[in-house]
Amino acid sequence: MSRSPSIPDRPHRDIDPDLPDDERLEALRDHYQDLVDVNEQLSEQLDDADERREQLRERVDRIERENETLKSSSLYIATVEDVLENEEVIVKQHGNNQEVLTDVSPRIVEQIEPGDRVAVNDSFAIQTVLNAETDARAQSMEITERPEVTYADIGGIDEQVREVREAVEQPLAEPELFTEVGIEPPSGVLLYGPPGTGKTMLAKAVANETDATFIKMAGSELVRKFIGEGSRLVRDLFEMAREREPAIIFIDEIDAIATRRSESKTSGDAEVQRTMMQLLSEMDGFEARGEIRIIAATNRFDMLDRAILRPGRFDRLIEVPEPDRDGREQILEIHTRGMNVADDVDFAALADDTEGYSGAEIESLSTEAGMFAIRNDRNEVTHQDFVEALEKIEEDDSSDVISSPGYFYQ
Ligand SMILES: Nc1ncnc2c1ncn2[C@@H]1O[C@H](COP(=O)(O)OP(=O)(O)OP(=O)(O)O)[C@@H](O)[C@H]1O
């Protein structure tokens, strides 16, 4: 940046009043010339300052425009492969792995190096360099300081709640118990069972109870969206947890990165394998009594690579089944707690009629019943509304040819 020029001194000249007229006149002329020179210098400096102000205004305008573009358009995530001369960069877009040569503004080129993740617009111009946090969030990691779900919101799986509390909550809340007895708590807990039965809720409720940050990552996203980056993302995940201790790491659909080798023969196989190895090595190198706990979930227990179930890894398995009759009744009561329900609603009868329903399906049933009430201009939900909602759901299901959720057990 240029230094501001110094302001010239004000010209000063002592003129002896006793000098002869011609000499005084000469001295006054010189003084006048000095003043003219200084005046010229000052106006030059003023012109420079005006020009600089104009440049700065243009820069502010440009940055504001850049800012607006950044705010208004969606950006894609890419990794910098190489930084070339002449402010050119090769980036590889995530998802389709397309490599593109693109220009970067001098402002950004100074900040980037190969391996950095950046956000690019539709024309692949780099808009911003992602810091660890934006980056992680951009990559479908869900982070909640303290989720709102509590154990009281979970119905029908009391035994599973007890087991999760023992395996995850206690080592976080009372690590000394384990030290005194001299045992290691389970390293990781694996929840398995059909979709929509409350696995995610369980993990969130533990985070709520222990005042921990809940960090969720979906295995499927990891493999589908970020080919070539799974292992890096796993590292980021644990780093994020360490920064935010106490933390619960929840890996949903773990089967996506921990499939049995024989089951997966695709070209991405090695990649998926690397992601899994990274996960295992992060788990191996970490203190089970520490402030970070890991919970994973799957609907496809049968497909899991047994390597992840070895001691020191996901060594506590908890099955979360579909709710039984009593469970369904409890879940119905939980999901209608905030609803204006008429006295005639018979939860026990509805529980009988919802055999095979998961918690998530019971939640939709309650919402659907509420919709029937609204449609009939009522603000109270009656038993008949639930019956009609049930019929509608059954109808929708039977028209849905392939409605099998596709989960399996051991
Ligand atoms: N046992 C339950 N008690 C109360 N509500 C439940 C229960 N199970 C599911 N639900 C409802 O269904 C929603 C989805 O549940 P959740 O995400 O915990 O299921 P999940 O087992 O993790 O499913 P998936 O395997 O599809 O990820 C919850 O937000 C909740 O409203």
* 75-79, 87-91, 388-392: range with lowest mean pLDDT: 75-79
Q: Read off the CATH number of the domain in which 311 is found.
A: 3.40.50.300
Is residue 192 a part of any domain in this protein?
A: yes
Q: Tell me what pLDDT residue 161 has.
A: 94
Asked whether residue 264 is domain-assigned, the answer is: yes
pLDDT at 74 over 70: no
Residue 12 labeled ligand binder = no
Choosing from 319, 338, 361, the residue where a domain stops is 319
> Which three-class secondary structure state does DSSP give residue 213?
strand
In 121-227, beta strands by DSSP E: 126-129, 141-144, 188-192, 213-218
d(CA 174, CA 168): 10
We report the CATH number of the domain holding residue 92 as 2.40.50.140
Q: Are residues 155 and 207 in the same domain?
A: yes
Encode 175-218 in three state secondary structure. HHHHHHHCCCCCCEEEEECCCCCCHHHHHHHHHHHCCCEEEEEE
Domain boundary among 86, 107, 130: 130
Structural contact between residues 161 and 320, judged by C-beta atoms closer than 8 angstroms = no
Neighbour-count burial of 126, counting CB atoms closer than 10 A to its CB (0-12 exposed, 13-18 middle, 19+ buried): buried
Which two structure tokens, joined as six digits, stand for 83? 């930084």
Q: Is residue 99 part of a domain?
A: yes
- If asked whether residues 145 and 166 sit together in one domain, one would say yes
> Could you tell which of 144, 191, 197 is best to mutate to test the pocket of ligand 1, judged by most ligand atoms within 8 Å of the CB?
197
**Cα 213 to middle of ligand 1, angstroms:** 19
Q: Give 410's pLDDT tier (boundaries 50, 70, 90).
A: very low
In the predicted model, is pLDDT for residue 8 greater than 80?
no
- The domain that holds 381 is classified in CATH as 1.10.8.60
Instruction: Give the Cα separation of 187 and 177 in Å (integer).
Output: 16
Question: Between these two residues, 87 and 45, which has the higher pLDDT value?
Answer: 45
Does residue 66 lie within any of the structural domains?
no
Of the ranges 85-99, 271-285, 333-347, the best mean pLDDT one: 333-347
Atom number in ligand 1 closest to CA 155: 3
Residue 200 known to bind ligand: yes
- Same structural domain for residues 115 and 231? no
Closest CA to 185 of 275, 106, 113, 289: 289
Task: State the closest ligand 1 atom to the C-alpha of 252, by its place in the atom list counted from 1.
Answer: 27
pLDDT of residue 165: 92
Same domain, 382 and 297: no
The answer to whether residues 201 and 255 belong to one domain is yes
115 and 227 fall within a common domain = no
Number of helical H runs and strand E runs in the chain = 14, 11
DSSP 324: -
Cβ–Cβ under 8 Å, residues 92 and 98: yes
- Percent of the chain exceeding pLDDT 90 equals 38
Query: Per-residue pLDDT for 75 more than 80?
Result: no
Say yes or no: 201 and 290 in one domain: yes
* Residues 62 and 197: beta-carbon distance below 8 Å: no
- The response to whether 285 counts as a known ligand-binding position is no
Pair (278, 370) in one structural domain: no
Of the candidates 371, 374, 362, the residue with the CA atom closest to the CA atom of residue 335: 362
Is residue 111 situated within a structural domain?
Answer: yes
Nearest atom within ligand 1 for CA of residue 153: 4
Phi and psi torsions of 403, nearest 5°: -100, 0
Which helix (H) or strand (E) covers residue 252, if one does?
strand 247-252
Task: Count structural domains, the chain.
Answer: 3
Question: Is 84 within a domain?
Answer: yes
At residue 56, the pLDDT reads 93
405: confidence class by pLDDT, cuts 50, 70, 90: very low
Q: How far is the CA of 114 from the centre of ligand 1 (A)?
A: 41
**Tens of pLDDT, residues 241-285:** 888 888 999 999 998 888 776 554 555 677 778 888 888 888 877
The pLDDT value recorded for residue 267 is 52
Residue 340 lies in a domain: yes
Does residue 297 lie within any of the structural domains?
A: yes
* Residues 261 and 115 placed together within one structural domain of the fold: no
Cβ–ligand 1 distance for 298 under 6 Å, the answer: no
CA distances from 257 to 287, 304, 341, 410 (A): 23, 9, 44, 18
**217 shares its domain with 125:** no
Among protein residues, the one whose CA lies closest to atom 5 of ligand 1: 359
Domain co-membership, 305 together with 253: yes
Q: Give the pLDDT confidence of 327-337 residue by residue, as tens digits.
A: 999 999 999 99
Measured CA distances, 99 to 96, 105, 229, 240, 282 (Å): 9, 19, 15, 29, 30
Domain that holds residue 372: 325-399
Residue 265: its pLDDT value, please?
53
For the chain, the average pLDDT equals 83
Final residue before a domain boundary, out of 130, 159, 180: 130
Q: How far apart are CA 76 and CA 125, in angstroms?
A: 10
Could you report the predicted ipTM of this complex, rounded to two decimals? 0.97
Q: Distance (Å, rounded) from C-alpha 205 to C-alpha 199?
A: 10
Same domain for 123 and 222? no
197 is an annotated ligand-binding site residue: yes
- Say yes or no: CB of residue 253 within 6 Å of ligand 1: no
pLDDT digits (tens, 9 = 90+) for 31-48: 899 999 999 999 999 999
